[in-house]
Structure 1
Amino acid sequence: MKKPIQKSSAEPSAPRRIHKYAFARLTRICAEIQRGGYPTKADLARLTHRTPRTVQSDLRALENDWDAPLAFDREQNGFYFTQPDWRLPRVNLTEGELLSFFTAERLLRRVADVTEIRLVRSALRNLAALLPEEVNVDLTALEQAISFAPEPAADVSPQTLRQLAEAATHRETLRIEYFSPHKNERTEREVNILIVHNWMGEWYAIGWDVAKQDYRDFHAGRILKLTRTQRSFTPPPDWHPQSYLKPGFGMFRGGAPVTVVVDFDAYQARYARERSYHDTQQREELPEGGLRLTFETTDAALAQVARWVMQFGAHAEVIEPATLRQMVRKEIKQMQELYSHKPSGYPEG
């Protein structure tokens, strides 16, 4: 399906036709160059899992077809953009296409993991690469859907997701009615949605709470009512999606940085080697087949890390920090007390 290309005086017109795989690859290449690390052609080839020759063609396309201000720094031995704020022109999905994406994503979580569904999942994963930058999708969870989800994802209306995505894309303030299970109350607030983020199959609207004057994560399934205000907003100057999403663990973040070290025994290590649990994770092989996993998070996320570690039972041990070890020890003690006697109402014997 042909997608309309956004055109403006500030951005060059994008080529009329481009394969979705190529566009996704160009997006990754641009993002890596914009990080400011002066990547080489070999670096970009490893990043995109393509040959240096293919990357060379991509770089040439960026210059010739997309008018990218691309240059090579001989001292740094890598590529950079002479205009740091240059962005690859967006491929805009129509309102119907955006709604179709969210509807398909919702339906795929209700079906069996048969061959045909896996093929559709793969196609949906490729379509995700064309979503606006304000819609952030956990592609791994999306492709695996129900099969590897730790629990069923909360149901969210595709219409709600479409409205959130459009508000984020067009920078329009929304008035929402939101239910907080932690406080067991409904509140009405105005929010500037900055990004719609999918994590482990759950959709979140991350935005700026106008009244609280701070960032907030709203579970899309708990938004009871959504109203347009017709007022536009400008994102905070310190807003950077990846800088916001990367710290913490899952959707838990905040507080001081902390290093987590977890050891898996030989049994669990076989599975842990196949998984990526955190963007900052580092692996270290241990004697007798074990595996040590080290990653950076924040102290406000440690309770969630403790719940994650405990799913592996005796096959995983927290090494650092001491605070996390104490959390797990306390939880184990409470569980021992809970299971040291028969459930109430059941006869002894």
Structure 2
Amino acid sequence: MNDTLMRHWRMLREVPRYPRRISTAELKQRLAAAGFETTLRTIQRDLIKLSGVLPLLADDSKPQGWSWEAHAPQLDLPMLEPQAALVFHLAERYLQPMLPASTLEYLLPWFRTASGVLDSQGNGLSAWRKKIRVLAPGQPMQPPVIDSEVQAVVTQALLLNKRVAVTYRARGAKEDKDYEASPLGLVVRDQVIYLVCTLREYQDIKQLVLGRMRSAKLLDTQARGLEGFDLDQYIAQGEFGIPLESGRKIKLIANFDRSVATGFIERPLDINQVVDEINEKTVKLTATVLDTREIRRWLLDFGELAVVIAPQSLRNEMMEIINRMNKNYGL
């Protein structure tokens, strides 16, 4: 195959989508690493020529940076198959109520391509778009607004293992503060994106909400890693479950009306949970769970259809909450 065509393909794959950018010097390095030796002048000439027929953008920075247009269609070789297009459409439906709009924007080119492929089909696949809906659990809420450039910088910092300078306003604060963060991971929970990180030279782990970041700047400084840190272990400790005592587990025993038991029977709270029949109207749930505020909210959601039996401390706490609610309602 023609070497120039191969080089062009490789080069186009290295160009990111706006607002990210790549300089011609960096392109030259990446092409060389892939086995394509060329000059800066040739790369610049090729990009200018390709921008005449493709949605490529050049900025006025020095050195000059190149990007695909933000809403450019996704360039796929070979063309997206109808079955793959259907999967992308299902993913769009599923992710829409779960992820912030700024995250979904990065996937829009694939979603648009998938919609176009489905619309062109005459075998009934296009009808699926009108027949599938995905509903979010609980009360529908609007996702937080995240600055797309902030998210792009934070993501890039995580990928490159670099520090990032952020301007951040904590919950309840009246003023912004500047932080230098070393990213450890990103966690998406209930449409909120959290940057798990350390600040400056400290070792304690923090969670910064991307929606509260006013600005972000990628730094050349290497991120400060934590020896032995594992994101899955960090989450398993209950750090995103608002634990009352980090990592503490309790043996929950509660009676439930049989009419609401299907949910935790089909989706167990614990792999070792046990559901026993008490009588024709009541079942008893026994499960080991993290001692979190979420488990209390989950139990309260059932109202009078759930009664905590053990541990006694949790039973007493639930009784206090119910008594306070009665007072608030004048009962």
TM-score, with structure 2 as normaliser: 0.54
**Map of 1:31 onto structure 2:** none
Aligned partners of 1:164 and 1:196 also within 8 Å: no
In structure 2, the partner of 1:261 is: 252
Shift in Å, 1:214: 0.7
The aligned residue for residue 42 of structure 1 is none
Cα contact 1:165–1:195 (8 A) shared by 2: no
Instruction: Quote the residue 1:217 is aligned against.
Output: 207
**Aligned-partner Cα distance in 2 for 1:307–1:124:** 27
Which structure 2 residues correspond to residues 115-264 of structure 1 after superposition, within 5 A?
Answer: 120-122=89-91, 147-152=136-141, 153-182=143-172, 185-210=175-200, 212-248=202-238, 250-253=240-243, 255-263=246-254, 264=256
Distance (Å, rounded) in 1 between the aligned partners of 2:174 and 2:310: 34
Matched, 1:294 2:287: yes
Local SS of the residue matching 2:266: coil
In structure 2, C-alpha distance between the alignment counterparts of 1:321 and 1:257, rounded to whole Å: 13
Q: CA RMSD in A?
A: 3.7
Offset at residue 148 of structure 1 (A): 1.8
Name which one, 1 or 2, has greater alpha-carbon Rg.
2
Whole-angstrom distance in 2 between the partners of 1:145 and 1:160: 28
Deviations 1:69-112 (A, max 9, x none): xxxxxxxxxxxxxxxxxxxxxxxxxx979x88xxxxxxxxxxxx
AA aligned opposite 1:175: A
Mapped contact 2:167–2:177 kept (Cα < 8 A)? yes
Q: Give deviations 1:282-339, integer Å, cap 9, x for gaps.
A: 3312214625151332x5xx33322232112122233333333233222211110010
Q: For residues 134-160 of structure 1, what are the alpha-carbon distances to aligned partners after superposition, in whole Å with 9 as ceiling and x for unaligned? A: xxxxxxxxx986532544132323433
Aligned residue type for 2:209 = H
SS at match of 2:176: strand
- The answer as to whether partners of 2:196 and 2:208 remain within 8 angstroms in 1 is yes
Q: Provide the rounded CA distance (Å) in 1 between the counterparts of 2:229 and 2:304.
A: 40
1:64-103 maps to which residues of 2 (within 5 A)?
none
The separation in 1 between residues aligned to 2:162 and 2:134, in whole angstroms, is 31
Q: 1:296 to 1:155 in 2, by over 3 A?
A: same
Q: 1:123 to 1:307 in 2, by over 3 A?
A: closer
Q: Any gaps of 5 or more consecutive residues in structure 1? A: 6-12, 14-94, 101-115, 127-142, 342-349
Cα distance, 1:186–1:334 mapped onto 2, change above 3 Å: farther
- TM-score normalised by L of structure 1: 0.52
Q: Percent identity?
A: 15
2:302 to 274, 296, 312: 312
Output the amino acid matched with 2:248: P
Number of corresponding residues: 215
